[in-house]
Structure 1
Amino acid sequence: MSSELGDFLKARRRQLSPAEAGLVDDGRRRVPGLRREEVALLASISPDYYTRLEQGRRRAAEPVLDALARVLRLTEDERVYLFELSGKDAGRPRSRPAQRAQPQLQRLLDDLTNTPALVLGRCTDILAWNPLAAALFTDFAALPREQRNFVRLVFCDTAMRAMYVDWDHVARACVAQLRMEASRDPRNPRWMMLVGELSVQDRDFRRWWGDHRVAERTAGTKTLRHPVAGELALDWSTLTDAADPDQQLIALTAAPGTSSHDRLRLLASWAAEPSTARAGPA
């Protein structure tokens, strides 16, 4: 079985182009596909560890197999086969029904007219928001539902990315929070798809995901440079819904008497104007 596992890994990495893996082809490849070192880098394991797997001299743990399945773009059947060759139970990714914001959280959002707030679900999917949150970040209603994800926007939306004065700190915290969520539900296909997409698209995400840092989403301070309101220092805090712990309301506030407080009120007035009003969740 170990030789079959090595043959399978070699075959799959040779069938995957550098472009498909999100890597730059230097034009000096003697054989098609990915090098062992590149697979190891993308899977956040050492080259020696991966070489031993291909040579049948090392058994892989389940998290490593999951990482390899993601890096090598395995289908679900191929993923199951990979686990079977390794003597592991692959399980099946658990499909869950689409989340919707709890009604009580939606009512709370509607009442927060001077406070930007949004509801995050599993894998930081954005389930609901109020007009001021849309004015602060982006017009969430204009995005396809599958793209309404906070971590994805932090990395992929150029306007939102540019707003963060300390983007590196915010982005690394987002990755750590996503990894914590993934550890609670390791077979959720949603986070597997999200991590795969961002690993291909963003080198920073790929590197920070490999750091294996974890963090809870609790509270903190964000400094934003908004194109309308100017610089805003906002404190954010998290309210977890007791009826569905997978849903959290994130509210951002500014201390009274500060310039950020005044600018946030200005932004609220701007967002309330008919020409700039944002639509609610679709």
Structure 2
Amino acid sequence: MPDTVPSINTVSPDLNPQWRDIISQLSYPSFITNERSEVLAWNDKAGEVLSDFGKQPASERIMLRLLFLDQGLRRRMLNWEEFALYSVAVFRTYYDMHLHDPWYKDMVVKLCEDSMDFADMWKLHNIQGKKVNRVVIQSLGTNQSVTYDINSVASLADHPCLHICIYTPVAESLESN
């Protein structure tokens, strides 16, 4: 057995252990989220590249919230505005699908209070389905950046609202920096 075993961090005991095993084996930043963008499980690489999810209360471990309120992540995300516009449009799609769920309204109200950028983007009323999207993230403590395609595997078995998000590095020949 190797000295360093990939680990998986999870906050939802009802997740299929096989899904946790899948993301723990990936060398790419990966996590499991739901339509609310709550991070339910993540691998070590996601904790290194995106955010230290384990140090955050579950109520704050929401990708959309982190995108707007985690200033460290925001600074390192070199195409932040483009990615944020896309993320808000995807979230609005789920918001519209769950109009009777007060969690969505409460989240929007709170984000509008905490982030003028979110409030401005929310007012655009954009709607977007999930698709492969690209993000450029500067590595912690360096001037180097990595371009990732974000692939989402949806409809996991009996849980169509769950997604495995895998940040796959783009081949150097495709990178512009």
Per-residue deviation, residues 84-109 of structure 1 (Å, max 9, x unmatched): xxxxxxxxxxxxxx885333221111
Structure 1 segments, 4+ long, off by >2 Å, are: 98-104, 258-261
Is there any run of 5+ residues in structure 1 with no aligned partner, and where? 1-97, 262-282
| C-alpha distance in 2 between matches for 1:251 and 1:260 | 18
- Structure with the larger helix share: 1
The corresponding residue for 1:157 is 70
The corresponding residue for 1:101 is 15
| C-alpha distance in 1 between matches for 2:13 and 2:109 | 21
- Paired-residue identity, %: 22
Is there any run of 5+ residues in structure 2 with no aligned partner, and where? 1-11
State the one-letter code of the partner of 2:138. Answer: R
- Structure with the larger strand share: 2
The corresponding residue for 1:252 is 167
Of the three residues 162, 180, 183, the one matched with 2:93 is 180
Of the three residues 235, 242, 247, the one matched with 2:157 is 242
| C-alpha distance in 1 between matches for 2:161 and 2:141 | 33
| C-alpha distance in 1 between matches for 2:96 and 2:124 | 14
Deviation at 1:179, TM superposition (A): 0.5
**Shift in CA distance, 99/168, structure 1 to aligned 2, threshold 3 Å:** farther
RMSD across aligned positions (CA): 2.0
Q: Which aligned pairs between 1:75-90 and structure 2 lie closer than 5 A?
A: none
| C-alpha distance in 1 between matches for 2:74 and 2:170 | 24
2:49–2:140 CA contact under 8 A, matched in 1 = no
Higher relative contact order (CA 8 A, sep 6+): 2
| C-alpha distance in 1 between matches for 2:44 and 2:21 | 13
- Give the structure with higher Rg (CA): 1
Equivalences, count? 162
Normalised TM-score (structure 1): 0.54
Deviation at 1:242, TM superposition (A): 3.1
Normalised TM-score (structure 2): 0.84
| C-alpha distance in 2 between matches for 1:259 and 1:231 | 14
